[in-house]
Chain A
């Protein structure tokens, strides 16, 4: 029963192959059911009324006219979601974000909701709800929000992490600090020092599927929720807590998910849909519009970062320091803290110090976005590292290789590294043909490194063997990009059977034990660990059954390539029993054969990547074109290499959009001006070249197959790699993301003028 998760260095038969994914046919034929593709009998349409103001006191909400409209079955406000959070501040923030209680804190904040017989009636009803607002001064910029005269968003917040307890409330919720050594002394030993300030604008995960759910609360107090989410068990826990239900009474089924990237880790519409259903006594379908997704789900932080790095003439970094300010929306978060932890994680540093500040602003509550907080910190640090290499007259790759963290290095955020991939990705980049490809006029090349922690977490998996010998694998980590394929490969590998005989599904919350959500690149890492454990438990039973069928001791039965084999000369003529043969007899040998696993997947190996890109800049217009792009990343072990490549390419493309185009634009009135895909422009097919990938495999010692998470790291280097390329092409250091044509043109003109 004791599961040994250590890397064993086995030779693989299934893992590492590239079969077609089990959910593929449904997805190319339109049969796959996403959040909005599910309906229930008697279902109503839910819609949400949102604040048009960035910051306003809610004096009164009059729902009487809306309630009287024919076809309206329920109207709710915060009164219908009473505070049951019992002093849990984080849950209270979630509740307040789902439905504003006393103040609207951002343009788009929900203030009321209706359920009606159709969308037209629901829309009409929203217009009949009268909200009396007292408009308050607002602040949307992270630096402005830190000023003493800035409008205060929450007067109960006093900055945590200061040496002296502050006497006045502040928009800064927390100060955090990481590092070791003495940076002051370190800078004293430097021959060259680069010091720069950087800004990045707020971006959205931009998943193509808007948030959608169908909620059905029965009069007996039980409920069902169908929802697109990265974590249905977490949604169940949050919804049950907010609605005062026992978790076991709420069954949450995760639909196919049309992209999440961290943005579907938080409840917004789901408690509202449940409250509407409870009041109306009928199922309610609630689907966000794209405008609502931008205004009222969770984008990433906007940031303002100062970096200082010093090095000796020989290229050794002597000290590194950064101050990082991250916007959190109107509720406390840990975004700057994560940025401060990741900023210098790629390097071996004797003296390093990072300080993070979480800052409240009148924008939507910040949510995770793929390696949350790391890309902005990497942009600032890797830009400064590039500039320092230039001052030293060193090749930027060689400079990084000289200072790269290694096994045994104490990381800038504390832990000592095991075997890691930063050095190997840099060596691979140094030797990559991309580095020798010729550049034309106005083209520049940039490269940058990135780090992400990766996460493991609570995981529960069931592996059931049918009487025909086929295998059903039920996992609880939502499949965001092909994990049912990779987990089927792992089950096939461990059992020694063909991939085709395994069918993986994502089970609902009533069918499986608790699972943390699919975040931290944990889907394949943690559920493969649980799948291996479950398969080993099933193999133990298969061996017992074979022993029973042969009437020998189970100690004499081993499992080899999908068969029970009797070992020892005394059993020489027993032959082998296949999994299928043992399963066929299961009814006579003790009943169904299954393997279960409940574990905390510790030891998610840290992940590193290095990217190279070539950018052409039009000096007349400031417009850019991506000419070449290459991703080199450590996967530990690529279970399904094609989908690993896909993660590398997808993260790079999102990073390209972030670096060059995407940003939330707020007007002076504090309202979001570009809440749609026309004005918030994510990369389209014609914007990008092919994205080359190179998978390195430095086994994670804490996983039986050496697997590391691969989903997030690929978005960490692009902002910096592209900024370095644009800076090289334009001949001026770019310090503000996104590098939209006006910003590039302004930088070029300032350089010419200066």
Chain B
């Protein structure tokens, strides 16, 4: 079977790859491009561990086909930091211990980035509903919500 040639932008870089028609974008990112920051927790769009931003929209990359990325703009957790300068959300997740095992963390960071881009001053309830598509089994979400609240304050002041 011939692969489909795709040209797309990932974290600001132009990337080209071949993929099969039934291959998910998550599999392309992880298996073809070595971008293993996005995780597969379910493969059915229920856990959010594979969250990416596709043309300014938060999506589960397990529900997008690799071929659909043609001509689009993708942001993954690997592109959040600028060099050795962590994104404010990344720094706040560390300071607040908003991760234990850390497997959900890339998805939460991407979802929180998308949330704050659209709503820079969210209430606690808005944060909780904004992140309700991401499952965390370790933290009980308390410290995640606090990290996002703290990051929002810092980012507003920036």
A208 contact set on B, CB distance < 8 A: 39, 41, 47, 49, 101, 103-104, 135-137
Shortest distance from the beta carbon of A634 to any chain B beta carbon, whole Å: 19
Q: Let me know if A686 and B44 touch, CB within 8 A.
A: no
Shortest distance from the beta carbon of B153 to any chain A beta carbon, whole Å: 17
Size category of the A interface is 35 or more
Decide yes or no whether A642 CB sits under 8 A from chain B.
yes
* Chain B CB within 10 A, most for which of A208, A480, A645, A652: A208
A687 contact set on B, CB distance < 8 A: 132
Decide yes or no whether B42 CB sits under 8 A from chain A.
yes
A684 contact set on B, CB distance < 8 A: 132-135, 141
Q: Let me know if A646 and B143 touch, CB within 8 A.
A: yes
Question: How many angstroms between the C-alpha atoms of A638 and B36 in the bound complex?
Answer: 34
B105 contact set on A, CB distance < 8 A: 27-28
Secondary structure of the B contact surface, majority rule: loop
Q: Let me know if A24 and B137 touch, CB within 8 A.
A: no
Contact bitstring A305-336, B, C-beta under 8 A = 1, else 0: 00000000000000000000000000000000
Q: Let me know if A650 and B137 touch, CB within 8 A.
A: yes
Within 8 A of B (CB), among A629-661: 642-643, 645-647, 649-650, 652-654
Pick from B78, B109, B140: contact of A691, CB under 8 Å: B140
Given A653-B140, A677-B135, A27-B102 contact (CB < 8 Å): yes
Q: Let me know if B103 and A258 touch, CB within 8 A.
A: yes
Q: Let me know if B81 and A29 touch, CB within 8 A.
A: yes
B30 contact set on A, CB distance < 8 A: 36-37
Q: Let me know if B94 and A20 touch, CB within 8 A.
A: yes
Q: Let me know if A685 and B131 touch, CB within 8 A.
A: yes
Shortest distance from the beta carbon of A541 to any chain B beta carbon, whole Å: 34
Given A654-B137, A691-B142, A30-B38 contact (CB < 8 Å): yes
A682 contact set on B, CB distance < 8 A: 135, 137
Decide yes or no whether A676 CB sits under 8 A from chain B.
yes
Decide yes or no whether A206 CB sits under 8 A from chain B.
yes
Decide yes or no whether A257 CB sits under 8 A from chain B.
yes
Pick from A258, A642, A686, A691: contact of B102, CB under 8 Å: A258
Shortest distance from the beta carbon of B122 to any chain A beta carbon, whole Å: 12
Which chain B residue has the least Cβ–Cβ distance from A629? B140
Shortest distance from the beta carbon of B88 to any chain A beta carbon, whole Å: 11
Q: Let me know if B97 and A209 touch, CB within 8 A.
A: no
A23 contact set on B, CB distance < 8 A: 102
Given A25-B94, A34-B39, A646-B139, A678-B106 contact (CB < 8 Å): no
Decide yes or no whether A444 CB sits under 8 A from chain B.
no
Shortest distance from the beta carbon of B108 to any chain A beta carbon, whole Å: 9
Pick from A24, A259, A260: contact of B94, CB under 8 Å: A24
Shortest distance from the beta carbon of A675 to any chain B beta carbon, whole Å: 10
Contact bitstring B136-158, A, C-beta under 8 A = 1, else 0: 11111111111000000000000
A207 contact set on B, CB distance < 8 A: 101, 103, 137
Decide yes or no whether B37 CB sits under 8 A from chain A.
yes
Decide yes or no whether B56 CB sits under 8 A from chain A.
no
Q: Let me know if B134 and A685 touch, CB within 8 A.
A: yes
Decide yes or no whether B43 CB sits under 8 A from chain A.
yes
Given A29-B37, A208-B135, A643-B97, A649-B103 contact (CB < 8 Å): no
Q: Let me know if A678 and B78 touch, CB within 8 A.
A: no
A654 contact set on B, CB distance < 8 A: 137
Decide yes or no whether A576 CB sits under 8 A from chain B.
no
Contact bitstring A430-460, B, C-beta under 8 A = 1, else 0: 0000000000000000000000000000000
B68 contact set on A, CB distance < 8 A: none
Decide yes or no whether A696 CB sits under 8 A from chain B.
no
Q: Let me know if A685 and B144 touch, CB within 8 A.
A: yes
Question: How many angstroms between the C-alpha atoms of A608 and B20 in the bound complex?
Answer: 54
Q: Let me know if B109 and A28 touch, CB within 8 A.
A: yes
Pick from A29, A37, A649: contact of B90, CB under 8 Å: A29
Shortest distance from the beta carbon of A94 to any chain B beta carbon, whole Å: 25
Decide yes or no whether A210 CB sits under 8 A from chain B.
yes
Decide yes or no whether B77 CB sits under 8 A from chain A.
yes
Q: Let me know if A481 and B46 touch, CB within 8 A.
A: no
Shortest distance from the beta carbon of B91 to any chain A beta carbon, whole Å: 8
Decide yes or no whether B54 CB sits under 8 A from chain A.
no
Question: How many angstroms between the C-alpha atoms of A481 and B102 in the bound complex?
Answer: 8
Which chain A residue has the least Cβ–Cβ distance from B27? A119
A691 contact set on B, CB distance < 8 A: 140, 142
Q: Let me know if A650 and B44 touch, CB within 8 A.
A: no
Shortest distance from the beta carbon of A400 to any chain B beta carbon, whole Å: 24
* Chain B CB within 10 A, most for which of A27, A643, A652: A27
Question: How many angstroms between the C-alpha atoms of A32 and B94 in the bound complex?
Answer: 14
Question: How many angstroms between the C-alpha atoms of A736 and B78 in the bound complex?
Answer: 45
Shortest distance from the beta carbon of A730 to any chain B beta carbon, whole Å: 24
Decide yes or no whether A256 CB sits under 8 A from chain B.
yes
Which chain B residue has the least Cβ–Cβ distance from A688? B141
Decide yes or no whether B4 CB sits under 8 A from chain A.
no
Which chain B residue has the least Cβ–Cβ distance from A289? B43
Question: How many angstroms between the C-alpha atoms of A126 and B62 in the bound complex?
Answer: 22
Q: Let me know if B44 and A678 touch, CB within 8 A.
A: yes
B109 contact set on A, CB distance < 8 A: 28
Question: How many angstroms between the C-alpha atoms of A646 and B47 in the bound complex?
Answer: 20
Decide yes or no whether A198 CB sits under 8 A from chain B.
no
Decide yes or no whether B119 CB sits under 8 A from chain A.
no
Pick from A28, A29, A649: contact of B143, CB under 8 Å: A649
Q: Let me know if B35 and A30 touch, CB within 8 A.
A: yes
Query: Given A208-B104, A677-B44, A685-B129, 10 more contacts at CB 8 Å?
Result: A25-B94, A28-B77, A30-B38, A30-B106, A258-B102, A290-B44, A650-B138, A676-B44, A685-B128, A685-B134
A-B contact pairs, 8 of them (CB 8 A): A30-B76, A208-B104, A208-B137, A480-B100, A481-B138, A643-B97, A649-B142, A684-B135
The list of the 10 closest CB pairs from A to B, nearest first, reads A30-B37, A258-B103, A653-B140, A27-B102, A649-B140, A677-B46, A481-B100, A30-B77, A28-B90, A37-B36
